[in-house]
Amino acid sequence: MVTKETVRDPADADVTRADSLAREIFAGVANKWTLLVINVLEQRTLRFTELRTEVDGISHKMLTQTLRHLERDGLVDRTVYAVVPPRVEYQLTEAGQALRSTVNRMCAWTRAYLDHIEAARLRFDSMS
């Protein structure tokens, strides 16, 4: 069997280029629902309804779209059990776990600078 080797254009890795694969991936993971789902999954395997409960404010439709996106990009594994009613569980892949450490640092940064940002907003809004 002969396989064709893929030659990737170096521009695909440039997040500053609008047409790059890296920009597409970056945009997909840099959205609030994706970050929150990854944060909630952490080291646990969760069912859809558990995820929806944990991610306050996410709609059924948005959670479905987010999980499909994460599964497509190989960040989440979806396991379906052949029972009635069907049981579906989600867990982070190795790549998802690696991203989780970045998400955790972003959450820590948010907590550390929450007061600073709130004060800056109040100053800015009072000048408007």
- Would you call 47 helix, strand, or coil by DSSP? strand
Please enumerate in sequence order all residues whose Cβ is within 8 A of that of 95, keeping only pairs 6 or more positions apart, or say none.
73, 74, 75
Residues 103, 52: Cα–Cα separation, whole Å: 19
Q: What percent of the chain has pLDDT over 90?
A: 71
* Res 3: pLDDT: 57
Task: Convert the pLDDT of each residue in 13-56 to its tens digit.
Answer: 888 888 888 888 888 888 999 999 999 998 799 999 999 999 99
